[in-house]
Structure 1
Amino acid sequence: MSAESTPDPGIPGDSGTSAARTRAAGRRRAPRKRHKGLVITAWTAAGIVVLGGTGLGYVYFKLNGNLKSVDIDQALGTDRPEKADNGSENILVLGSDTRAGSNRKLGGGTDDGSARSDTAMIVHVYEGHKKASVVSIPRDTLIDRPTCTDTQGDEHPAARNVMFNSAYSTGGAACAVKTVESITDLRMDHYLEVDFAGFQQLVDDLGGVEVTTTKSIDDPDSHLKLKAGTHRLDGEQALGLVRTRHGVGDGSDLGRIQLQQAFIKALVAQIKDVGVFSNPKKLLDLAQTATRTVTTDSDLGSVDKLASFAGGLKGISPSGMQMVTMPVVYDPADPNRVLLQKKKADRIWKALQDDKPIPAAATRGTAAGEAKGVVSAP
């Protein structure tokens, strides 16, 4: 997630240059037949069912009323990739940088209440729900956005050569899902969105997250200053870490993605160690924050459904998570943009369609961001 005092290269719809490019377009393909919340939100929801049997039924209904959902299926209709029949699931997880409400002071930049998908990840949960692959989509990727109908029924025309995060700012969650499906030909079974304020509060409710940095980080834009070593980050520091762009690596969105992926693994490890389910007060605080700040697809739009879904993810540990970035190269016409490496990306989508691990060759030789290994769980 990013907010810089310098001009933001991630402004939706701004291609950055009118120069000609050779790139792989994100055109929608006819669906193939298949051969076969953030993470913290899911873990929190998995424990909510405990409240229903502890004399706290009123709390359960309050939590249920907190949830916000969007009807992705109705907005997208039937012209979508087929659902997998092998027990696997794909979840599109977005981190929203809305500047509205309590996020206004956290977002930086514009404060007009607009929002962008500042972080986007496809989470593929394998059959058996013991392992997952996470594919981060750089927000600076230039794509061809398909025609979208948002959840209010308004249609938005297709656009060529625009930022990936313009899909969300143009047509909301439904357009973001349709754009991802047009690029990957993978059906997104679910949608989860968490905003700035929710992320920060969730980390605070957990009691912080411990990470180790191999290099010092000093980024005045994200207000993060850490010496090399082990730190327990509070919510504000954690938000600064996943948003930092200039403090480490090559200053690109790709470097920030590497930090985000490392932090998520540390976060999962922290949730497993903190004893959330044996501490009713901590569980309730997390549940209150999670249900107030998460937006889901309508299939997960109740505590029962979200908890049932999340319960199936409890067996996924940090060691069972494969994390990669969608293969891209820097745009020779504008170094603030990246272009999809279609042949390599197609190897990832095919592996996920077949419920197989992502081959190492699919991401070898792609733009990286130079921040790998800077942050890890202690």
Structure 2
Amino acid sequence: MSAESTTGPGISDPGTNGPSRSGKGRRRKARSGRRKALLVTAWTAAGIVVLGGTGAGYLYFKLNGNIKSVDIDQALGSERPLKVDNGSENILVLGSDTRSGSNRKLGGGTDDGSARSDTAMIIHVYRGHKQASVVSVPRDTLIDRPRCKDTSGRTYPAASGVMFNSAYSTGGAACAVKTVESLTGIRMDHYLEVDFSGFQKLIDDLGGVSVTTTKNIKDPDSHLNLGAGRHTLDGRQALGLVRTRHGVGDGSDLGRIQLQQAFIKALADQVGHIGVLTSPKKLYDLADTATRTVTTDSDLGSVNSLMDFANGLKGISSSHMKMVTMPVQYDPANPNRVVIAEAKAKQVWTALKNDRPIPASATKGTATGEAKGVVTAS
């Protein structure tokens, strides 16, 4: 079975202007507003899409002051993969599982204030910024973590056979980026992070997200109880959906990733035509929530920079995003962990390095979470 989940008919040769859609099958004809939807990356996309038009003066300075940024480049220094200057971009997106402040009341995990990268996605935006590939990295993947520094300059030793999300909990954003670059051999041009409480409020500010579930999903651990059918998820329900791993599929992190990918597609489809740009108050509320929620690399650490970044992605609709899971297999010694399928993963990283589509062979026969198709866009 394949761990691949596509959100459209696939990605053509990025060196062209992209495929012309046939319009056949179950997909509805894309509305013109949907073309304005940005590349939706984990929790941040809905906020980024409404940053444009926030104006100047007081509003600009207030929103600008909301944004937190980290200097990844200074922390990592020069020992990094070479930056590719071909018009493509690579972005590491993390959903952080921080158990302090307003996140504590959301439940799950520990209450010690520690932080983990609960969700990780590598976004490759192809030359021309009309198409993108999204590679989800299972947090339970056993890896060899490289020696790394955090943004305060503290050094952490290398470690073998540890979970992928330990990189973030050990050395924060800089260590997470260092680990991803070590695994892939690809330089991350940007970093985006959003936490649990911000994600929940962002969905509420949007008015909810419509999805259809083909099976009942019940998971007390993530406070989720959905019957099969159509739902408009509020922030708490949406958070439960993207966190659940026991309510559907085989109970693994891979199944949760499949639900997350389906939710992102639903969010992308909805953001393009909900009309947020017609309401100044709704626009401001969304922008305020997004800028309070997001942590970026220093290059994106201002409203102007985020708007420029977002404007460069406007040509990417959900139908031109291909979503896959990093090729893995279940660990024979521990079914609750996975290990990288090295040969197949190399196909993925080689394709992205060369700004090419990810071949279907890269994910064929790899582990999957048995949750594909359980959630679809309404």
TM-score for both structures, normalised by structure 2: 0.88
Offset of residue 46 of structure 1: 4.5
Aligned to 2:98: 98
Aligned to 1:209: 209
Alignment of structure 1 residues 198-347 onto 2, 5 Å:
198-347=198-347
Alignment of structure 1 residues 143-158 onto 2, 5 Å:
143-158=143-158
- The aligned amino acid for 2:327 is P
- The aligned amino acid for 1:288 is D
- The match for 1:48 among 41, 48, 51 is 51
- The aligned amino acid for 1:51 is T
Higher relative contact order (CA 8 A, sep 6+): 2
Structure 2: runs of 5 or more not aligned: 1-39
Counterpart-to-counterpart distance in 2, 1:263 and 1:182: 29
Asked if structure 2 preserves the Cα contact closer than 8 Å seen for 1:45 and 1:303, the reply is no
Aligned length: 339
Work out the percentage of aligned pairs sharing the same amino acid: 75
- The aligned amino acid for 1:222 is S
SS of the residue aligned with 2:204? helix
Choose 147-156 or 106-115, whichever is displaced more.
106-115
- The aligned amino acid for 1:357 is P
Alignment of structure 1 residues 82-121 onto 2, 5 Å:
82-121=82-121
Counterpart-to-counterpart distance in 2, 1:302 and 1:333: 46
CA separation of 1:316/1:40 partners in 2, compared to 1, >3 Å: closer, same or farther? farther
Asked if structure 2 preserves the Cα contact closer than 8 Å seen for 1:97 and 1:107, the reply is no
Counterpart-to-counterpart distance in 2, 1:346 and 1:141: 16
- The aligned amino acid for 1:57 is G
Asked if structure 2 preserves the Cα contact closer than 8 Å seen for 1:144 and 1:160, the reply is yes
Aligned to 2:3: none
CA separation of 1:104/1:294 partners in 2, compared to 1, >3 Å: closer, same or farther? same
Q: Deviations over 1:180-231 (max 9, x none)?
A: 0000001100000000001001100000000011111111111111111111
Structure 1: runs of 5 or more not aligned: 1-36
Aligned to 2:16: none
Q: Deviations over 1:344-376 (max 9, x none)?
A: 000000111111111111000000010001111
Asked if structure 2 preserves the Cα contact closer than 8 Å seen for 1:347 and 1:359, the reply is yes
Counterpart-to-counterpart distance in 1, 2:282 and 2:256: 30
SS of the residue aligned with 2:54? helix
TM-score for both structures, normalised by structure 1: 0.88
Aligned to 2:169: 169
Offset of residue 316 of structure 1: 1.3
SS of the residue aligned with 1:221? helix
Counterpart-to-counterpart distance in 2, 1:88 and 1:169: 29
SS of the residue aligned with 2:109? coil
Offset of residue 279 of structure 1: 1.8
Aligned to 2:371: 371
Counterpart-to-counterpart distance in 2, 1:101 and 1:40: 19
- The aligned amino acid for 2:172 is G
Choose 216-225 or 37-46, whichever is displaced more.
37-46
CA separation of 1:133/1:41 partners in 2, compared to 1, >3 Å: closer, same or farther? same
Offset of residue 243 of structure 1: 0.5
Offset of residue 42 of structure 1: 4.2
Choose 333-342 or 37-46, whichever is displaced more.
37-46
Counterpart-to-counterpart distance in 2, 1:238 and 1:81: 36
Offset of residue 40 of structure 1: 5.8
SS of the residue aligned with 1:51? coil
- The aligned amino acid for 1:360 is A
CA separation of 1:202/1:43 partners in 2, compared to 1, >3 Å: closer, same or farther? closer
Aligned to 1:187: 187
Counterpart-to-counterpart distance in 2, 1:318 and 1:247: 26
Counterpart-to-counterpart distance in 1, 2:42 and 2:138: 19
Asked if structure 1 preserves the Cα contact closer than 8 Å seen for 2:103 and 2:196, the reply is yes
Aligned to 1:31: none
SS of the residue aligned with 2:272? helix
CA separation of 1:325/1:155 partners in 2, compared to 1, >3 Å: closer, same or farther? same
Offset of residue 271 of structure 1: 0.6
Asked if structure 2 preserves the Cα contact closer than 8 Å seen for 1:43 and 1:310, the reply is no
Aligned to 1:17: none
SS of the residue aligned with 2:335? strand
SS of the residue aligned with 2:95? strand
Q: Deviations over 1:36-61 (max 9, x none)?
A: x7466345335434122xxx520111
SS of the residue aligned with 2:48? helix
SS of the residue aligned with 2:115? coil
Asked if structure 2 preserves the Cα contact closer than 8 Å seen for 1:126 and 1:132, the reply is yes
Asked if structure 1 preserves the Cα contact closer than 8 Å seen for 2:47 and 2:289, the reply is no
